[in-house]
């Protein structure tokens, strides 16, 4: 870090793709053939950084502008940050890293772009070091181990009643009935009544019919499944009833909800 400013004359300096003309106070972007006429603040900061290139110049040193009349003007921290951002934009994407504001220290103008000051996530194509690669692998393994240790094996629900019957058209149909997990009730009678109504249909439009009774039998969820050319077709039916004792399954109802064909 430096504390003394040497005001030796310099006619110009190459900064990335830009030429800094110290005499005319102009920054020329040679790749785009454009010129940036520096104001007094910009010229003061860049000229000092150029004279001490590769060194950190304290913000206090850069902040006090030397006026021609001998008086001084002080730049705020926000103004200094904005100046640095302006220089980065003008240097272009490939040379933004030439200038850097280091918090609580100062500003540095590098001799060349240094990669270690950029973030790993700056670009998806950025190369990573072996240490970063090993760290990512270790973190992935730890995450996999955590997931494997905390996830239990899937539980397969066994239906209370599962039967296969033949419809009037000769098709084989699977009927499954699921009751409340905590109930010890025998659902065979409910299944017999439902299958009896299904057998009255001329055609059944589905290969598999699964019914789930909610607690208290106030609602019934019916899942219909049929194998088609493009895969498996599904359909859901939700039945709500005020009176659990009410028998709603009939041939007319089965046709109405398109479980059976007309």
CATH number at residue 21: 1.10.10.10
Give the CATH number for residue 241: 3.30.2010
pLDDT (tens digit, 0 to 9) for every residue of the chain, 262 residues total? 444 444 344 478 898 888 888 888 888 888 888 888 988 888 888 888 988 888 998 888 887 776 554 545 677 888 888 889 988 888 888 888 889 988 878 899 998 876 544 444 444 544 556 777 788 888 898 888 777 766 655 556 788 889 999 988 888 999 998 886 656 677 888 888 889 999 999 899 999 999 888 766 678 889 999 998 888 888 998 888 777 666 678 888 888 889 998 7
Q: Check: CB of residue 43 under 8 Å from CB of residue 52.
A: no
The reply to whether 172 and 246 lie within a common domain is yes
Residues spanned by the domain of 58: 12-115
Q: State the Cα–Cα distance between residues 202 and 169, nearest whole angstrom.
A: 6
Answer with the one of 58, 93, 115 that is the final residue of a domain.
Answer: 115
Q: pLDDT value at position 5?
A: 40
3-state secondary structure of 127: coil
Question: Residue 206 has which token pair?
Answer: 């589905």
Within a domain: residue 130? no
Task: Tally DSSP H helices, then E strands, for the chain.
Answer: 6, 14
The total number of structural domains in the chain stands at: 2
Buried b / exposed e along 91-127 (16+ C-beta atoms within 10 A): beeebbbbbbbeeeebbbbbeeeeeeeeeeeeeeeee
Within a domain: residue 109? yes
């Amino acid at each position: 870090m430096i504390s003394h400013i040497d005001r030796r004359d310099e006619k110009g300096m190459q900064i990335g793709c830009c030429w800094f003309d110290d005499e005319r106070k102009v920054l020329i972007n040679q790749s785009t053939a454009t010129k940036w006429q520096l104001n007094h603040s910009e010229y003061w900061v860049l000229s000092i950084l150029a004279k001490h290139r590769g060194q950190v110049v304290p913000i206090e040193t850069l902040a006090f502008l030397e006026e021609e009349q001998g008086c001084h003007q002080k730049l705020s921290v926000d103004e200094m940050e904005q100046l640095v951002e302006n220089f980065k934009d003008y240097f272009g994407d490939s040379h933004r890293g030439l200038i850097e504001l280091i918090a609580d220290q100062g500003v540095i103008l590098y001799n060349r772009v240094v990669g270690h000051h950029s973030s790993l996530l700056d670009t998806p194509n950025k190369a990573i070091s072996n240490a970063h690669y090993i760290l990512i692998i270790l973190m992935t393994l730890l995450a996999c181990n955590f997931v494997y240790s905390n996830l239990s094996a899937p539980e397969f629900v066994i239906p209370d009643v599962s039967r296969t019957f033949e419809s009037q058209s000769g098709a084989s149909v699977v009927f499954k009935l699921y009751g409340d997990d905590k109930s010890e009730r025998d659902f065979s009678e409910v299944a017999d009544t439902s299958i009896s109504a299904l057998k009255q249909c001329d055609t059944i439009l589905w290969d598999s019919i699964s019914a789930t009774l909610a607690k208290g039998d106030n609602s019934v969820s019916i899942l219909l499944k049929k194998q088609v050319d493009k895969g498996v077709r599904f359909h859901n039916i939700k039945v709500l009833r005020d009176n659990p004792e009410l028998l709603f399954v009939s041939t007319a109802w089965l046709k109405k909800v398109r479980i059976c064909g007309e």
